[in-house]
Amino acid sequence: MKKILSKAYWVDRDVEKLVGLQLRYGVIISSLVVLAGGAVYLFQQGHIVVPDYTRFIGEGPGYTSFNGIFSGVAHLQAKEFIQFGVLLLIATPILRIAFSLFAFVLEKDKLYIGITLLVLCVILFSMFGGLKV
Amino acid sequence: MTILTFTIILLIGAYFAGLLGSLTGLGGGVVIIPLLTLVFHVDIRYAIGAALLASIATSSGAATAYVKEGITNIRLGMFLEIATTIGAVIGALIAVYTPTNTIAMLFGGILIFSAAMTLRKKTQEASNDGSQLATLLKLNSSYPTKDGQVNYKIKNVGAGFSIMTVAGVISGLLGIGSGALKVLAMDATMRIPFKVSTTTSNFMIGVTAAASAVVYLQRGYMDPGLAFPVILGVLGGAFTGSKLLTKMNPTVLRIIFCIAITFVALEMIYNGYNHKF
């Protein structure tokens, strides 16, 4: 553990490589979740007629809020499971910023700690700022 | 049509969209919107939601390799992401007040511009003429080439930052990565070598798309029934595309596809003009 927290360890391992790996695993994991949910969705509802996508009605709270998605996942609902994969996918680049922040903290690069925090704040604002109108 | 048939057809369509996006360098999301709206007659708002997810998936998937090779300029990307994320949030806000037909026409225009951009001549040379601001922000860097590490310097930081804000607004409004505008800002304005500008742009697309995706998700633009085939299909197509690109020179293909995409764009504009969205 002590080794992981030391700066030399990270310089050796090269944080950039880790950022690359995090992005790859984020995409792989989220697509596996989407695939699993999708397979069950097709199995359960594949024979039903396609919903009318030509008119926009918007998705219900089950697919648009953390609570809705998580409670659906807890009840093993197929579509909520897909939506959970969607959440993981959206989280992948956001997590990447957090990783970069960590890297700049280790490098003690104050300017870029500030810049990275600013980007993170913009994203958090768009998440929780009630912009959905 | 049953859900099963619809999903399979859309999966195949999304696969080719991802392949086309990868071979032309336009990105995964761009071809999804005309595919969903013109072929499947899906409402453009659902299409935008699905396209954003396709953009995040392909950009994050592809970024891995370039970041590892050290071509991507992470500081430059992070600095410009201030502009693109703020732009993306503004774009997602404007989208509510923009009629869907206007969005479709704007999309067609951007598509033509993007196709033209992929065909133009690119900056290959590393510039040694940097600005003071670039030094202050530690944006100058180096990248690996056949002949070893090459240093490059950056200028016109302010102008590049402004174009990036516009790229962010368009990305948030239309649900695409707007890679073409990002490359224009870095390549033509900031004089960054082509390889660095394309990979850094790709690196930024995921974050930019995520900034507006969180808004669109809450607004109900993201349907799981569409997200499932689109994400998997586009990823598969982009993967095949990246394998093909190492084996062949896509110049001729790129020209053919860009002409085809221009026709698709014209149809989007025509339909938008006739209020078909």
Q: What is the ipTM of this complex?
A: 0.92
Q: What is the CA radius of gyration of chain B?
A: 18
**Residue of A23, A83, A93 lying closest to B64 (CB–CB):** A23
Question: Is B214 in Cβ contact with A90 (below 8 Å)?
Answer: yes
A76 burial (CB, 10 Å; 0-12 / 13-18 / 19+) is: exposed
Q: Which residue has the higher pLDDT, A113 or B203?
A: A113
Predicted local distance difference test score (pLDDT) of residue A1: 46
Question: Which chain A residues contact residue B232 at CB under 8 A?
Answer: 31, 34-35, 38
Q: What is the pLDDT of residues A26-35, one digit of tens each?
A: 999 999 999 9
H helix or E strand, kind and range, residue A16: helix A15-45
β-sheet bridge partners, residue B145: B148
Predicted local distance difference test score (pLDDT) of residue B275: 85
Nearest-neighbour CA in chain B from A108: distance (Å):
14
Which residue in this structure is represented by tokens 């999304």?
B14
Question: Which chain B residues contact residue A121 at CB under 8 A?
Answer: none
Tokens of B231: 């994400």
Pairing of strands B148-152, B141-145: antiparallel
Question: Is A96 in Cβ contact with B224 (below 8 Å)?
Answer: no
Scanning B68-87 for CB atoms below 8 A from A yields 68, 70, 72, 74-75, 78-79, 81-82, 85-86
Q: Which residues of A78-94 are buried (b: 16+ CB within 10 A; e: fewer)?
A: bbbbbbbbbbbbbbbbb
CB B56 within 8 A of CB A92: yes
- Asked if B45 is an interface residue toward chain A (Cβ–Cβ < 8 A), one would say yes
Predicted local distance difference test score (pLDDT) of residue B76: 94
Question: Which chain A residues contact residue B72 at CB under 8 A?
Answer: 16
Q: To the nearest whole number, what is the mean pLDDT of chain A?
A: 86
How far is the C-alpha of B32 from the C-alpha of B42, rounded, in Å?
A: 11
**Residue of A24, A55, A79 lying closest to B64 (CB–CB):** A24
Q: Which range, of A6-20, A109-123, B14-28, B161-175, averages the lowest pLDDT?
A: A6-20
Residue B104 has, within 13 A of its CA and on its CB side, a CA count of 28
Question: Is A53 in Cβ contact with B222 (below 8 Å)?
Answer: no
- Determine the average pLDDT of the residues in A4-21: 64
At B256, phi and psi to the nearest 5? -60, -50
Question: Which chain A residues contact residue B271 at CB under 8 A?
Answer: none
HEC string of B195-257? HHHHHHHHHHHHHHHHHHHHHHHHCCCCCHHHHHHHHHHHHHHHHHHHHHHHHCCCHHHHHHH
Predicted local distance difference test score (pLDDT) of residue A76: 84
Question: Is B79 in Cβ contact with A115 (below 8 Å)?
Answer: yes
Domain count, chain B: 1
CB B140 within 8 A of CB B192: no
Local confidence band at A12 (pLDDT 50, 70, 90 cut-offs) = very low
Q: What is the CA radius of gyration of chain A?
A: 19
Residue B150 has, within 13 A of its CA and on its CB side, a CA count of 16
pLDDT, block means (10 residues), chain B with 277 residues: 94 92 80 93 94 92 74 91 96 92 94 86 76 89 86 92 95 88 86 87 91 93 95 92 79 83 93 88
Q: Which residues of B124-142 are buried (b: 16+ CB within 10 A; e: fewer)?
A: eebbeebbeebeebebbbe
Interacting residues of A18 by C-beta distance below 8 A, sequence separation 6+: A99
Interacting residues of A1 by C-beta distance below 8 A, sequence separation 6+: none
Question: Is B228 in Cβ contact with A82 (below 8 Å)?
Answer: yes
Predicted local distance difference test score (pLDDT) of residue B184: 84
Question: Is A56 in Cβ contact with B7 (below 8 Å)?
Answer: no
- Asked if B41 is an interface residue toward chain A (Cβ–Cβ < 8 A), one would say yes
Question: Which chain B residues contact residue A55 at CB under 8 A?
Answer: 43
Tokens of A38: 């999708």
Nearest-neighbour CA in chain A from B127: distance (Å):
24
Question: Which chain B residues contact residue A119 at CB under 8 A?
Answer: 78, 81-82, 85, 207
How far is the C-alpha of B88 from the C-alpha of A2, rounded, in Å?
A: 40
Identify which of B63, B61, B62 has the alpha carbon closest to the alpha carbon of residue B74: B63
Q: How many residues make up chain A in this entry?
A: 133
Here the contacts of B132-136 (C-beta below 8 Å, separation 24 or greater) are B133/B157, B133/B158
Nearest-neighbour CA in chain B from A30: distance (Å):
9
Q: Which residue has the higher pLDDT, B168 or A4?
A: B168
Find the domain containing B87 and state its range: 3-273
